[in-house]
Structures are given as C-alpha cells and as structure tokens.
Amino acid sequence: MEGKRILYVTTEMVPYFPENPMSSQALDLPKLMQSNGADVRIFMPRFGAINERRHQLHEVIRLSGMNMIINDLDQPLIIKVASVPGERLQVYFIDNEEYFKRKEVYGEDNKQFSDNDERSIFFAKGVLETVKKLNWKPDVVHVMGWMSSLVPLYLKKYYSDDPFFQDAKVVVSLFDNAFEGELDTELVNKLAFDNIEADVKQFLENPTHLGMIQASLQYADAVAKGEDIIPEDVKNYINQQNIPLLDYCSKEEAKEVYNNFYLEEVMNSN
C-alpha cells in the first residue's frame, strides 16, 4: 500500500468511544495500513459525548466556514481535528450545532433521533467536501457504521461528474450494530433534493438498518465483515450479491489480509 491514500469514515473510534468491534477497528486498521506505507485520513462525527478538552480537539478555521444544504436548509459545517495519543494519526471531526451537539449519540429513550437521516446526509456531504478542500484525493474510501452509509451514494452519484473522486474505490465494513425501526420516511425526498435518490429509492422509502446497508452497497466495490457476527438479514443480502467479500479476520491477521484485500480485490475492481 506504499503511497496509496485511504480515507476511513467511521461513526465510532477509540479513544473517543468505548471499545467495541467498530471503534477498535477504526483505530487499528488505519494504524496497520499506515505501517504498510499508506497515507491515511480518518473522519467521524463530533458527537456531543466526545469531551473536546480531554481529547484536545480544536477547530480548523481554514476548513470550516462552508455551508451544507440539507433538505433546502443551510447548515454550517465546522471541522475539528485531534491527534490520537501515542500515534501518528489525526482524526477530523464533522461538527454542527444542530446535529451533533446533543450528548446522546444515536437517540434517547430507546428511540432513534428523528433527524438521524439528516445527520447522515450532513456527515456524508461534510466529509467529502472537506476532503476536496484538503485537496487530498483518496484511492480507497472505507466506510464503517450505518450513519456513514450514505457516503458511497454521495461519492458515486452526487460527485459523479467530479474528476476528484472519479477513481476512488469504496469498501463498506459491516458490524452487528443494527438499529430498531426506521429513520424518517422523508429521507428519499431529502436525497432527491441532491438528485441522487432514484437508484436507492426501493431501499430507503422505509429506511431500516438493512435498507441503509443495501443502499450503501449499491455503490460499494467491496465489502468486509468487521466482526464475526453481523445481522442475519444483512448476511443473507450479502450472500445474494456479486461483490468481493472479505470475511472477518483477527487483529493479528489484519495487516497482511487487508493489505492484500485493498490491492488485489478493491483496487482492481471494475
């Protein structure tokens, strides 16, 4: 992976979240690929549960100041950054007072936030616009977590005529982190505002966890199991698709396994 650029987009990551399969892999995999010679960038939402002082987040003024239009409303984009303690890794945080200031991450009282669909749109657009502003063209965009699942849609459809992302390959990692119920059923109309709803409308008219994953996989070049057990409905869907699949592997195996996966399966996919 010497000289290759990998963009990791995750919704959870150690040390900003408690350890779980996604948050751990979101740290371990960039570290391993960096040690293989890759140039990596990591993006995640700046959820209110993240202690900015403890983790020494600071705003990147030259990157902030953009507005994202979400459902015909202007929302200011704030970019913050922090260094992972003891590592040569920086993490960029997508922030917005309306969407990410609240202390709870995905919902409260065992219910999803009613605007999780808009938070997902804002996160996807915010990541890609910031990467463009950094003038850092990724070879691989590796997405983790259902709230990141609109990134492939926006990259392949919203930016379809933009040469900046033309050669980027997309990997989607799957985890056992399904949510109950549905997101806002107006999601397809909000995507229609950006002219990208048609190909995924069948999956997102009633946007369940499975529907979000199905929509992301329409524009994925490969998929990886981030943990051994994933939701049964997601597993069944994956088994029906003609897409390169990397089975779950341990942290000890990951350095070589993912290096080969990126180079042989992802970079060479059509």
Look at residue 98 in the predicted model and tell me its pLDDT: 93
Cβ atoms of 220 and 153 within 8 Å: the answer is: no
- Can you identify the CATH homologous superfamily of domain 5-45+115-266? Glycogen Phosphorylase B; (3.40.50.2000)
Which whole number is the average pLDDT over 223-244? 92
Q: Cα separations (Å) of 41 from 9, 104, 130?
A: 9, 25, 11
- Whether the CA torsion 156, 158, 159, 160 is positive or negative: it is positive
Look at residue 72 in the predicted model and tell me its pLDDT: 82
Preceding amide of 76 cis, omega within 30:
no
With 0.75 as the threshold, say if the pTM is over it: yes
Look at residue 34 in the predicted model and tell me its pLDDT: 95
Distance CA 268, CA 100 (A): 37
Residues above pLDDT 70, as percent of the chain: 100
Q: Where are the domains of the chain?
A: 5-45+115-266
What are the backbone dihedrals phi and psi of residue 159, each rounded to the nearest 5 degrees, phi first?
-105, 25
Distance CA 2, CA 34 (A): 9
